[in-house]
Amino acid sequence: MDGTSAGPGPASGKGAILLVEDDVTFGEAVGRILRGAGFDVTVAADFRVALEVLEAERPIDLLISDIVMPSSVNGIALSRMARLRRRDLKIMYLTGYNIPGIENEALGPILRKPIDDAVLVSEVERMMATV
């Protein structure tokens, strides 16, 4: 396994999401929710795989990244690296931790785990609708 998984593309064409989540079970669950809402979702288990996806010639409209990951590169650092590769990339974060001042470093909204499915989909749709 290469650390990524993707579902079938959406019929509605709502957009492409790269979800970076080190908890594979949680990442797959979030991926299923978003695919069910019509998004094309690729799940990456770590920042290295995420960067490979971003460097490929595939469309990605939104990066959703866990903030705390078991490596030297957290979600904030990953999002900065991602923006160097794709300047117009929309960014959203997920975290189960209370990290003081993290909002000042984030390049997008932060959703707290556990997250309600409807709230997740609503926030992603709102992000996708912004220019």
| Lowest-confidence segment of 9-13, 71-75, 109-113, 114-118 by average pLDDT | 9-13
Packed helices 117-129 and 24-36: angle between N→C axes, nearest 10 degrees = 60
Structural domain range at position 109: 4-129
Phi, psi of 126 (to 5 degrees): -65, -45
Q: What percent of the chain has pLDDT over 90?
A: 79
Structural domains in the chain (count): 1
9 pLDDT more than 50: no
Query: Most distant CA pair in the chain: distance in Å?
Result: 40
Given this model, what pLDDT does residue 131 score? 65
Query: What's the whole-number average pLDDT of the chain?
Result: 90
CATH of the domain at 27: 3.40.50.2300
Q: Which residues pair with 91 in a beta bridge?
A: 63
Given this model, what pLDDT does residue 8 score? 42
